[in-house]
Amino acid sequence: PTSAVTAAALSCRRYVAGGQCKSTAKLEGKVVIITGANTGIGKETARELARRGKVIIACRDIAKAEAAASEIRAETGNQQVIVKKLDLANTKSIREFAEKILAEEKELHILINNAGVMLCPYSKTADGFEMHLGVNHLGHFLLTFLLLERLKQSAPARIVNVSSLAHHGGRIRFHDLHGEKSYNRGLAYCHSKLANVLFTRELARRLQGKSPRRPEFTANALHPGSVHSELVRHSFVMSWLWKMFSFFLKTPREGAQTTIYCAVAEELDSVTGQYFSDCQPAYVSPRGRDDETAKKLWNVSCELLHIQWD
């Protein structure tokens, strides 16, 4: 009976762990940027990609990022794990970060928009955006815009946006984007994750329009799974539930697999505008497939950020 229980527990764990990235593709001479890579899924993504090439960890908390980077350098033997300051809740910081990257890096091959906030009490970014929308969507939208030419010059290049299954519960509330009329922190997170999916879809459409056959430049989104990470720190109830049910949650390493897959898998060389979970294509909600909303969100995002992105 004990061995049967152990076997059942192991198969349950294997099921929870989900898909694994099997690609061993090297990234020699290639440069990867990962936002929010000082903890959780981002850190595990950085750890794995540092075994393959140069990784730039872009984080708000420099001390924490340096600790993560030195741990990764020691473990992988790769000294090209670099920390740069980036606060996605502040467009000034995003612009300064991009300027430094453009000055220092002649090439950029993979941009992983991984950082995120979840279940924050109502607050606004330095630019007056609701925090979830500001960090999870608008911050990454601006960052991608500023680095786009360098990515294009370095093609083949990839953009990987970490979204979530939570996008199914989201809607883009154009009449109240910043939650000033009504705010629910769970829904605000869902809305921002839907924005990630729509941004990916519209970005891929625009990039593909230039070379429809074989895009040298791809953009895909993903759901990492339910992961035991610090992302729920703003909610006592969620933190408690996460602890109680940790056996049924992915570890950060397991949660990073689909991000790594989207970043390196050779079979995705010309796949763009898709959404993945457990290292395979996954179902996107009808709202996540709404091209009109995607276009409108794109235009509204440009207005809010005072940029022209045609």
pLDDT digit string (tens) for 212-264? Answer: 566 789 999 999 987 655 555 555 565 555 455 554 577 889 889 999 999 99
Containing structural domain, residue 101: 31-305
- pLDDT tens, residue by residue, 124-144: 999 999 999 999 999 999 999
Cα separation, 243 vs 273, whole angstroms: 35
In a domain, 146, yes or no: yes
> Is-above-0.85 flag for pTM?
yes
| 15 located within any domain | no
Report yes or no on 234 lying in a domain: yes
Note if 189 is an active site residue.
yes
Say if 144 falls within a structural domain.
yes
User: Contacts from 205-214 at CB under 8 Å and sequence distance 24+?
Assistant: 205/273, 205/291, 205/294, 207/272, 208/272, 208/273, 214/270
Is 169 a member of any domain? yes
In the structure encoding, which two tokens stand for residue 96, read together?
A: 């300064």
- Note the pLDDT of residue 6: 59
**Looking at 15, 183, 189, 261, which residue is catalytic?**
189
Q: Domains in the chain: how many in total?
A: 1
**Residue 142 covered by a domain:** yes
Tell whether 2 is covered by a domain.
Answer: no
pLDDT of residue 244: 52
Angle in degrees, CA 251, 254, 259, rounded to 5: 125
Question: pLDDT tens digits, residue range 268-289?
Answer: 999 999 999 999 999 999 999 9
Q: What is the CATH number of the domain that holds 116?
A: 3.40.50.720
